[in-house]
Amino acid sequence: MSLELVVFAIASGLAIVSALAMVVVKTPVKSVISLVLTFFALAVLSVLLSAPFIAALQVIVYAGAILVLFLFVVMLLNLTQEAEGHDERPIQRLLGLVSVVALGGLLLGVTLKAGAPPVPAAGGPIANVKDEIPILGRLLFSDHLLAFEALSVLLLLAAVGALILSKRRFD
């Protein structure tokens, strides 16, 4: 068993467990911290896929900037822990559980049916790529310029919306 396979197993397991914890945890701050851990595990997986630039972006942009913004918004809104008590929606919880189990079974079936992807020979097209940053920059600012600008406007609107929602009215 190679070291790369062990690191892949640990990082993928950590990503799955922390993503599930993000959804299940009741406090918003712990949920955001679980999401940070998920992004770090995904960055490790990107390094294993020979994409160090994507891994660096994952850590710097998502875990470094966006999730810190999420954490500030959660703390600014002063969200309290969900009250423990009687479940008011048992039917919705049951339907949600059935949906999750059905989707998981569907994904497992498709994954098992697909089989393993072919492995390129040593020195194939994946090994010849030396620097992906100029290629990515050229594609981003030529073919996908409209999507890039739309995303920047969307992020700006989300920041303004968070600011408006967090503004408290003093009487």
What's the rounded Cα separation, in Å, for the pair 70 and 45? 23
H helices present in the chain, as ranges = 3-24, 28-48, 52-57, 67-77, 90-114, 125-128, 133-141, 145-166
CB 59 within 8 A of CB 39: yes
The last residue of a domain, from among 59, 80, 101:
80
Digit-coded pLDDT (tens) for 8-56: 999 999 999 999 998 888 887 788 888 889 999 999 999 998 888 888 8
Given this model, what pLDDT does residue 171 score? 45
Is there a single domain that holds both residue 73 and residue 137?
no
Digit-coded pLDDT (tens) for 96-115: 889 989 998 998 888 888 87
The total domain count for the chain is 2
What's the rounded Cα separation, in Å, for the pair 86 and 116? 46
Residue 12 counted as domain residue: yes
| Ramachandran class of 123: left when φ > 0, alpha when ψ lies in -120 to 50, beta otherwise | left
Residue 102 counted as domain residue: no
Residue 159 counted as domain residue: yes
| Percentage of the chain exceeding pLDDT 70 | 82
The last residue of a domain, from among 39, 57, 80:
80
Residue 4 counted as domain residue: yes
Residue 45 counted as domain residue: yes
Q: For the chain, how many residues are written? A: 171
Q: How far from 71 is each of 6, 27, 112, 115, CA to CA, in Å?
A: 32, 12, 38, 40
Residue 67 counted as domain residue: yes
What's the rounded Cα separation, in Å, for the pair 105 and 111? 10
CB 22 within 8 A of CB 31: yes
Is there a single domain that holds both residue 75 and residue 149?
no
Range of the domain at 161: 130-171
What's the rounded Cα separation, in Å, for the pair 81 and 67? 19
Residue 123 counted as domain residue: no
Residue 128 has pLDDT above 70, yes or no: no
- What's the mean pLDDT in 56-84? 73
What is the CATH classification number for the domain harbouring 25?
1.20.120.1200
Given this model, what pLDDT does residue 67 score? 77
135 pLDDT band, cuts 50/70/90, is: confident
78 pLDDT band, cuts 50/70/90, is: low
Residue 145 counted as domain residue: yes
The last residue of a domain, from among 47, 80, 113:
80
